[in-house]
Amino acid sequence: MTMIKKTLVMMYATLALSMLNVAQAGHHEAGHDNMSPSIVELAAGNDDLSTLVAAVQAAGLVDVLSGDGPFTVFAPTNAAFAKLPEGTVASLLKPENKDQLTAILTYHVVSGKVKAADVVKLDSAKTVEGSSVSISANDAGVKVDAANVIMTDIAASNGVVHVIDSVLIPSE
């Protein structure tokens, strides 16, 4: 196995264990009948999703994504945000760009709980932002727009999270 493959395997294993630990630790909050964390709590408990959490906070979406849902979130990793042109994330986090940031983040959210077994049967899904993401599945894996799904079916009290390797940008 090449060094890159070993590094990727270790990174994904660390991500999986981190998300599993957060899910097992649980957190009981008003409005949640079970011990699973909300989507926001799950993301906040994972260092690889810290940029997403900062963006959700800057957009004022914490309460929405902590609500009852259910939601399906395609969650970009920090590495996915790092692929954006230099300065993009810093610019999006500025208060004057809140509307643009909100549009991008809500483009990563689908109403309902869409598990991986259902995602592979779809060719598109309408997002909370209002437009649709394209979905394709083949032997190489599942893509949402141009992003690869790298981890699936991470259960939250108010939905499900699928981790992706690129940030989804809605068409203007």
DSSP letter for each residue of 50-63 = HHHHHHHHHHT-HH
pLDDT at 140: 87
pLDDT at 86: 95
pLDDT at 141 over 50: yes
Helix 98-106 and helix 50-59: axis angle, to 10°? 120
User: Which DSSP state fits 136?
Assistant: E
Q: Which fold has domain 3-164?
A: FAS1 domain (2.30.180)
pLDDT at 139 over 90: no
Q: Span 48-53, mean pLDDT?
A: 95
pLDDT at 94 over 80: yes
Judged by average pLDDT, the poorest of 7-11, 73-77, 115-119 is 7-11
Residue 6: partners with Cβ closer than 8 Å, 6 or more residues away: none
Residue boundaries of the structural domains of the chain: 3-164
pLDDT at 19 over 80: no
